[in-house]
Amino acid sequence: MSKAEIKSPLPGMFYRRPSPDSAPFKNDGDSVSAADVIGVVEVMKSFHEVTAGIDGKAIRFLVDDADAVMAGQALAEVEA
């Protein structure tokens, strides 16, 4: 079973939910398809969606909601 990482394209704050009261975009164990949004990165007063980029099953997040992230940092891994 190969694993692939989903990396943050940007530095900023990573959020797993579209708004504080919403459910997370994805939970650990969910399947993902390439176009699925898995979170947003806040930087320069705007929010940028992060898409999975690959199809896979069983996503597992490597960072918490509202964590500071660097560009290129792995946000989650999925079993391809």
Partner 1 sequence: MVVRVLNPGLSTTVQDLGRPGYFHLGIPIGGAMDRLALRAANLIVGNDEGAAGLEAVFVGPQLEFTRDALIAVTGADMPIKLDGEEKPSWTALKVRAGQVLSFGFLQTGARIYIAIAGGIDVPLALGSRSTYPIGALGGFKGRAIAKDDELPVGNAAGGREGRSIPEALRRRPGMPAELRVLPGLYWHRVTEETHRNFFDDQWKVAPEADRMGYRFRGGRPLQFVERDQPFGAGSDPSNIVDSCYPYGSIQVPGGTEPIILHRDAVSGGGYFMVGTVVSADMDLIGQLQPNTPTRFVKVDMDGALKARADRAALLDRIRSVFA
Interface positions with partner 1 (CB under 8 A): 7, 9-13, 42-45, 48, 68, 70-72
Shortest gap between Cβ of 67 and partner 1 (angstroms)? 10
Question: Which residue is listed with tokens 């929010």?
Answer: 47
How long a stretch of residues is the chain?
Answer: 80
CB of 40 closer than 8 Å to CB of 47: yes
Name the H helices within the chain: none
Query: How far is Cα 67 from Cα 50, in angstroms, rounded to an integer?
Result: 14
Shortest gap between Cβ of 50 and partner 1 (angstroms)?
12
Which C-beta is closer to partner 1: that of 7 or that of 60?
A: 7
**Closest CB to partner 1 among residues 10, 54:** 10
Kindly tell me which of 8 and 38 has the beta carbon lying closer to partner 1: 8
